[in-house]
Structures are given as C-alpha cells and as structure tokens.
Chains A and B, each alone.
Chain A
Amino acid sequence: MSIRKRQSISDIIDEYFEDMEKWAEQVRETLSERPCWDLKTCAIEPLREITVTPTEVIVTVDLPYAKKETVQVKVVNATSLEIFAEMKKKIRLTELGVTHRKGVIQRFHGWIRIPVTVNIDKMRVQNKKGILEIKLPRKR
C-alpha cells in the first residue's frame, strides 16, 4: 500500500496546475499534428503568440512575405479573431522543399482564440517588420 505524503493546499494547487498544463500541452501537440498548409485554400497558417498581461492581451502573428496592405484582422466574436494576408508572390511547395505534393501557397489564414475577456471594440492593430501586433484591453 502506498502512503501518500500529506500536502499543503498550495502544493495541491501547484500540482493541479502542473497536471493541467501537461494535459493542455498534450492536447496542443495532438491538434498541431497536421500540415500547416491547406492546398484547397492555398493558405498557410502563420505562427502566433498570445501574451496576457494584467491590463491587456497582446497577440503577435508572424507574416513574412505578406503584402502589408492586404493584412486583415476580422473579429469573429468576443473571443475569436481571424487573420488573413496575401503574400507578395505565389510560392510553390517545391520552393519550400515539399516535393511529394504539388501546389502553391499564396496567403496566410489563421484563427486566434483570446483566452480572457477583452474589450474587442478597443482593439489596436499595427504591423512592424512583418509582425502583426494586436492589442486588446482586458475587461475589468
């Protein structure tokens, strides 16, 4: 019979959050096991990062080769954004080293889920060096 060491509440909470983090990581990995490109829509999913600060949510999206004037951020609902951008030129998959499929990539398309409640109407967007930055103030 194993004897479980008595833990403090904070230890139990820490352990719970660690388990949750591991589970979330596993789910993320499972969901990401698919190509980043979709030949039907000629789109590639951009890399993105979400940072939650006490006052705002900062989303950045890496959009290399994107035509600045075509970058669009569409508000889907209170917690989701959709990103589009056309590329400066069509890129054949072979140019990216994918030789077993034929097709072209000509746009970025991605979805972003905002993890906390925000004032989506007060969204601020800027594009610097091909990095799209979206700032969303948190709801108080």
Chain B
Amino acid sequence: MSEEVKIVEKKKIPTGATLLFAFPDVGLVGVIAASHLIDELGLTEVAYLDSNLLPPLIVLHEGLPHSSIRIFAGQDTLLAVSEVPIPTDVIYPIMDALINWGKSKNVKMMISLSGIPIQDRQDVTELKSFAAASNAEALKTAQEKGLEILTEGYMVGPQAVVLQRAAEAGSPALTLLAQCFYNYPDPEAAAEVLKELAKITGLKVNVAKLLEKGEEIRLRARDVMKRTQQEMSKMKKSQEYDIPMYVS
C-alpha cells in the first residue's frame, strides 16, 4: 500500500466478503445506491481512508469529523464510498490503496456501482443496465445471472481502475452500469443498479423508498453533483459517449 494513502481500520473487518465501490460519477448513481444500501442493510463504518493526496476536507456528522472516503460493512459485504468526487490526478493511488486493502481481506469479488449516461434520458422510462468484467470468469458469472454485457466502449473514472487492476491480478471484478443522466442526480438509475447487484450477490434491498424519495434526493445531491461535474470534465468523462475504436 502506498505510504501516502492509508486505510485506518476502526473495527474488525470481515474476510471473504464482496467489496463494493461507490464514488461520485455520472448521475451520482453509485453514491445514491450506496447511501440506500447503508440505510436499508444497517451497514456500519469499519474503516476510512486517510491521505495527504486528498484536499484538506472532512465531513462533519453529528458534530464529529469523518473522512470523505469511508468503508462500511455488513454480513459478507464491504462498501467503500465517497461523498465527494476523487480529484482526477489522485484516482490511481487512492484506488490502488483500496484495491490492495480489499485483496488483503481476501474479498471474493470487487463490484463498482455506477452509471452510463444516455442522451434524452428524460424520455426513457425503462432503464437498461450493463455489466463489464475484469476476466472471462467474472464475465461468465454476469452472463449466467442474466446481466447484459457492455461489450465495447470506453470507461473513465475509478471503476476503470478497479477493472484494470483486477484484470492484471486475475481477480474477479465487475462494474455495474445503469443508464442515467450525465449531469443530474438519478435515483431511478441507482434503483436499477441495485436490482442488478441483487442478481449477482443476492443482496436484496427494497428500492421503493429510494424511488419515493427521488425528488428529495435530487435536491439534496445538487451540490455534490455540481462538484462531480467539474471533476468529470477534468477526467474527460464524456469520452464514454465516443464511438469506440478497438484496434485488433
């Protein structure tokens, strides 16, 4: 693990769990989904990330400071989540630290929760979801569970690093992507990605409350979305719209 980034454990960490990643990205799909998972499953904070590579920022909750990148746990589940976008220039070291920490806990699979932006999202009533995998084994698992595969395209952001590193290590990892707004918080897409997660992990959560509170979530998430837009612009996130050209 890089010395510039450390994971501080506060409680006993379960081993052999599934490690989920949820970071601010298009539609804030992962973060909204993570917040709902934490509430519904009663996940507790077990560790946090500390790094001088990140801006000097803490999140105050009930008067006490918390790291912006925290790890929650429940039975067989670990969830790494951030309330603020990770600055583009430190995504690699931050993700490397989290991935290596996950490996040290013998996680059985790493799954990123995110979105894939579509134009005219407001006209779409039935959102589709896709999966991308780190290796043939994970790809087969996703297909067998009925997930549609994102066969070609570009992926930009923390989830790209997770797939890349897992592929290098031969570890199973998936990215689940629900169609979503690019620039607006999208609770409906978060609900879709949670349905896909349930197919893979069996982690079933009721998304009715999430959909019911959709407008409130969109309003509350407004500023995080705005900050995320700025970071997405820096990392050229819009490249995900591009027509892929795979050179074979």
Contacts and interface: CB of A to CB of B under 8 A. Distances in A.
Interface of A: 25, 28-29, 32, 36, 44, 46-47, 49, 51, 60, 62, 64-65, 91, 96-97, 128-131, 133
Please classify the interface of chain B as helix (H, G, I), strand (E, B), loop, or mixed, using the class held by over half of its residues: helix
Nearest to B183: A49
Contact of A64 (B122, B218, B233): B218
Given A62-B218, A65-B219, A129 B226 contact: no
A65 B184 contact: no
A130 B226 CA distance: 18
B183 A47 contact: yes
B222 A36 contact: yes
Nearest to B234: A25
Interface string B129-150: 0000000000000000000000
A47 B219 contact: no
A48 to B, nearest CB: 8
Interface string B173-216: 00000000111110000000000000000000000000000111
B242 interface: no
Contacts of B123: 128
Contacts of A91: 219
A131 B184 contact: yes
Lowest 10 CB-CB distances: which A-B pairs, in order?
A64-B218, A64-B215, A131-B122, A62-B184, A128-B122, A49-B183, A64-B219, A65-B215, A129-B122, A65-B219
B41 to A, nearest CB: 22
Most central of B183, B219, B222, B226 by chain A CB within 10 Å: B219
Contacts of B17: none
A74 B178 CA distance: 35
Please classify the interface of chain A as helix (H, G, I), strand (E, B), loop, or mixed, using the class held by over half of its residues: mixed
Interface of B: 119, 122-123, 181-185, 214-216, 218-220, 222-223, 225-226, 230, 233-234
Given A36-B223, A47-B225, A60-B122, A130 B218 contact: yes
Most central of A32, A129, A133 by chain B CB within 10 Å: A129
B220 A96 contact: yes
A29 B230 contact: yes
A127 to B, nearest CB: 9
Contacts of B182: 49
B122 A47 contact: no
A97 B226 CA distance: 17
B220 A47 contact: no
22 contacts: A25-B233, A25-B234, A32-B230, A36-B223, A36-B226, A44-B219, A44-B222, A47-B225, A51-B119, A60-B184, A62-B181, A64-B215, A64-B216, A64-B218, A64-B219, A65-B215, A91-B219, A97-B220, A128-B122, A128-B123, A129-B122, A133-B122
Given A49-B183, A129-B122, A32 B219 contact: no
Given A32-B226, A47-B226, A64-B215, 12 more contacts: A25-B230, A25-B233, A36-B222, A46-B222, A47-B225, A51-B119, A60-B122, A60-B184, A62-B181, A62-B183, A64-B214, A65-B218
Most central of A32, A47, A51, A60 by chain B CB within 10 Å: A47
Nearest to B185: A62
Nearest to A60: B122
A44 B221 CA distance: 13
